[in-house]
Amino acid sequence: MKMVMAYIRHEAFEPIRADLLVKGFPSLSVSEVKGSGRQKGITERYRGAELTNYLRPKVKIECVVAAGDVRTVVDTILVHARTGGVGDGKVFVLPVEEAYRVRTGEAGEEILQAHASDAQE
Amino acid sequence: MRALQAAAGVDAGDTAWMLAATALVLLMTPALGLFYAGLVREKNTLNTFMMCVAALSVATICFALVGYSLAFDGDGSLVGGLGHVFLQGVGFEPRDGTTIPHLLFFAFQTTFCIITTALVSGAVVERMRFGPFLIFAALWSILVYSVLAHWAFGGGWLQAGGTLDFAGGIPVEMGSGFSALAAALVVGARKDYGRQALLPHNAMYVLVGAGLLWFGWFGFNGGSGFGANDASVLAFVNTLLTPAAALLVWFVLDLLRGRQVTAIGAATAIIVGCVAITPAGGFISPGWALVLGGLAALPSYAVIVWRTRTRVDETLDVLAAHGIAGLTGIVFIGVVAQMSWNGVSDGLLYGNAEQLGSQLLAVLAAPAYAFGATYALLRIIGAFTALRGPDRDEAVGMDIIHHGEEAYVRGEGAILITPEGSVEDELAAVGPGSR
């Protein structure tokens, strides 16, 4: 099991979510984050005070999948998140040791993504 | 001494009320800014409000320099004269047909031009560049608003032909609504429109904005009798009644459609009610004003539901809330106007079918001119400069791209850039009380 953790531009999220859904990966977490990297800061002005904000807003996606699915998920993210400009973001893949479904206590890879049978809710 | 007396023919009471009414109408533009800003996404909050602020400047200047003259000098058929350009001849003596100083009459009319220009921005928010919008606002206030105001208020062909419009169903409501449709078509849809849910970011702004608009509307309609007189009182009271009825019917429509009464729907209903009574305020009885509120909710609701299913990104539904509701109000006058209430004319139900004909003429002419002129104007501006920026700008948001500010700034990660100066200067700049 692996966790794919991606930091991307806001506008890239919706296409990625839609594409992952189609490919059978509906389960993911999203958070609004701020971070700094090589992308240059935003210059702002407030009442004469000029400042540069180096923290740029990004969207963070976390998606835990079976090891064999990592390539598909990462490629999907890369395709939609890439504009070619500085600030497109980064994707990390982390090992995951165990996984449990809270509702039933089931464990293991089979809980990772919703299956057709329990996708009703 | 001039300061101690009013010019002959000026009534102190009328003037006092119109001074207050003018201030009330001015408040409507920042109120509209709140209403609009709440309806857009967080990243476009300031830009949306700033389009209204832009109208406060640009429309005021243009109306003072040229627009007022085109609207209110002489009774030419299509457009007024140039006699009042740069406010020539606009002084303390009463404006013809009123008992208030001409200067005050001008100020009152200017606030109408401002809010109408600001209204049109609702069609192009979240994507139109700020610079081209300033040019558009300036030219629109002269070429579209002032012309329609002349037709309806300044002795132009509609008014001369007997069309009744108490407070601006023609220039303000139909003018902005149908111009908004044209603007949305020329500028085009937001890049995410129809693909992502583009939600209002702050429903509270929308409600507060609608409430302040309603408050200001008492000056808008209640001042359109140009004095403390029967027509103003009737319009004032009707401005209370019509939105109340529109709200109730909107509640019912919301319930039927989704089993819940929505807050943003309610805010919209207040606007629709205020708009519908705008042309009819001083012409119909309070009873009919209640009926009008209920009636006007129906077509506007339908257009909002229908519009969101189309590819036309007329973003904040200026057409439905203003164009269609204004049209409803204009037609309604032709049906239920009562001489016994307005002292001017009866409508169809009271034996004067001709009035309805005059009203329908306005319904054909005003939207056609507003749509056509706005479409052409934006096409011409667009030939000289891009009306919108690259998709990347739209993704970042108009606030940062055009204003270098954010509405909800938190300051984390921000580093102050100090001009070359002493250490004391830098310390003072980061110390308390510096921003």
Q: In what order do the strands lie in the sheet with A49-53?
A: A42-46, A49-53, B414-417
Looking at the 3D structure of chain A, how many domains does it have?
Answer: 1
Residue A82 in any domain: the answer is yes
**Is the CB of A87 inside 8 Å of chain B's CB atoms?**
no
CB–CB contact B414 A14 (8 Å)? no
Nearest chain A Cα distance for residue B43, angstroms: 11
Asked if B414's CB is within 8 angstroms of A53's CB, the reply is yes
Give the Cα-Cα-Cα angle A41, A45, A50 (nearest 5 degrees): 70
B218 by DSSP, 3-state: which? helix
**What residues of A are in contact with residue B41 (Cβ under 8 Å)?**
none
Query: What is the domain-level CATH number for residue A83?
Result: 3.30.70.120
Partner-chain residue, chosen from A14, A34, A83, that has the shortest CB–CB distance to B413: A34
b/e sequence B25-43, b meaning 16+ C-beta within 10 Å: bbbbbbbbbbbbbbbbbeb
Give the tens place of pLDDT for each residue, B141-166: 999 999 999 999 999 999 999 999 99
Does some domain include residue A101?
yes
The answer to whether the CB atoms of B435 and A50 lie below 8 A apart is no
Q: Please give the residue range of the domain that contains residue A26.
A: 2-32+59-118
Cβ-in-10-Å burial (0-12, 13-18, 19+) of B260 comes to: exposed
Q: Could you tell me if B358 and B162 are in contact, meaning their C-beta atoms sit under 8 angstroms apart?
A: yes
pLDDT tens sequence across B10-62: 999 999 999 999 999 999 999 999 999 999 999 999 999 999 999 999 999 99
Per CB-CB distance under 8 Å, the chain B contacts of A53 are: 413-415
CB contact under 8 A, B435 and A41: no
Closest by CA position to A28, among listed A2, A69, A64, A79: A64
Which residue type, as a one-letter code, is found at position A102? V
| CB spacing of A51 vs B395 below 8 angstroms | no
Nearest-CB residue to B395 (from A10, A41, A50): A10
Tell me if A44 and B414 make a contact (CB, 8 A cut-off): yes
Does residue A96 lie within any of the structural domains?
yes
Question: Shortest Cα distance from B118 to chain A (angstroms)?
Answer: 24
Judged by CB atoms closer than 8 Å, whether chains meet at A52 and B404 is answered as no
**Does residue A50 belong to the interface with chain B, where contact is any CB pair within 8 Å?**
yes
Residues of B with Cβ-Cβ distance to A80 under 8 angstroms: none
B197 to chain A, any CB pair closer than 8 A? The answer is no
**DSSP β-bridge partners for residue A100:** A107
Contact predicate B167/B279, CB 8 Å: yes
Q: Which of B192, B404, B409 sits opposite A43 (nearest CB)?
A: B404
Domain annotation for chain B: domains and CATH numbers: 2-393 (1.10.3430.10)
Count helices and strands (H / E) in chain B.
19, 1
Residue A16 is assigned to a structural domain of this protein: yes
**Are B283 and B92 spatial neighbours (Cβ–Cβ below 8 Å)?**
no
Residue A12, domain member (yes or no): yes
**CB count in 10 Å sphere of residue A58:** 24
Model's pTM, two decimal places?
0.89
Q: Does A82 touch chain B (CB under 8 A)?
A: no
**Is position A39 within any domain?**
no
Whether residue A46 and residue B435 make contact (CB cut-off 8 A), yes or no, is yes
Q: Which residues of A touch B416 (CB under 8 A)?
A: 49-51
Name the residue among B200, B212, B216 with its Cα closest to residue B125: B200
Minimal CA separation from A15 to chain B, in Å: 9
Per the CB < 8 Å rule, is B415 touching A53?
yes
What is the DSSP annotation of B125-166? TTTB-HHHHHHHHHHHIIIIIHHHHHHHTSS-HHHHTT---S
**Is-contact A24 A81, C-beta < 8 A?**
no
Instruction: Kindly state whether residue A41 falls inside one of the protein's structural domains.
Output: no
| Mutation choice for A interface testing from B415, B420, B430 by most A CBs within 10 A | B415
Nearest in space to B223 (alpha carbons), one of B71, B22, B16: B22
How far is the alpha carbon of B310 from chain A, nearest alpha carbon, in Å?
21
Exposed, middle or buried, B321 (CB in 10 Å: 0-12/13-18/19+)? Answer: buried
**Where do the DSSP E strands lie in B86-235?**
none
Q: Per residue of chain B (435 residues), what is the pLDDT tens digit?
A: 455 677 789 999 999 999 999 999 999 999 999 999 999 999 999 999 999 999 999 999 999 999 999 999 988 999 999 999 999 999 999 999 999 999 999 999 999 999 999 999 999 999 999 999 999 999 999 999 999 999 999 999 999 999 999 999 999 999 999 999 999 999 999 998 988 788 999 999 999 999 999 999 999 999 999 999 999 999 999 999 999 999 999 999 999 999 999 999 999 999 999 999 999 999 999 999 999 999 999 999 999 999 989 999 999 999 999 999 999 999 999 999 999 999 999 999 999 999 999 999 999 999 999 999 999 999 999 999 999 999 989 988 999 999 999 999 877 777 777 665 444 454 455 554 433
Contacts of A14 in chain B (CB under 8 A): 192, 195-196
Nearest to A42 among B400, B417, B434 (CB): B400
Distance, in Å, from the CA atom of B430 to the CA atom of B416, rounded to the nearest integer, reads 8
Would A50 be classed as within a structural domain? no
